[in-house]
Amino acid sequence: MTREAIAAAFVAIGMASGALTAQAADIAAGRAKAVQCQACHGLDGISKQPDAPNLAGQNQDYLVKALNDFKSGARKNELMSTVVKPLSDTDIANLAAFYHSLKP
């Protein structure tokens, strides 16, 4: 097998695993978990508070990164860090899928 073929195989595997991860996110579970988010980010992901961002329609990968950054402390916000700390990776993926699925 050539180096090019091996590289192509790794790219294909990476793309397939990314697709499986995206498909694995459960929008209904995200909706259920989002109850705790609604006080600041609104029932439909449209914030009623000027200092809380709208989440409806937001890029799913961005939301996963932002939530993980709050959880790790790489991004600072006392309230968000407290809320995100107990979330599992699955919870974060589901929340991101749910908010991404909403119309902005």
**DSSP letter for each residue of 40-99:** HH-TTS--SSTTS---TT--HHHHHHHHHHHHHTSS--HHHHHHHTT--HHHHHHHHHHH
Residue 77 belongs to a domain with what CATH number?
1.10.760.10
92 domain residue, yes or no: yes
Residue 21 is assigned to a structural domain of this protein:
no
Residue 16 lies in a domain: no
Of the two residues 21 and 90, the one the predictor is more confident about is 90
Contact by Cβ (8 Å): 30, 95: yes
The boundaries of the domain holding residue 87 are 27-101
The verdict on residue 77 lying in a domain is: yes
User: What pTM does this model have?
Assistant: 0.76
Q: What is the pLDDT of residues 51-101, one digit of tens each?
A: 999 999 999 999 999 999 999 999 999 999 999 999 999 999 999 999 999
Give 18's pLDDT tier (boundaries 50, 70, 90): very low
Pick from 41, 96, 39: which is nearest to 67 by CA?
96
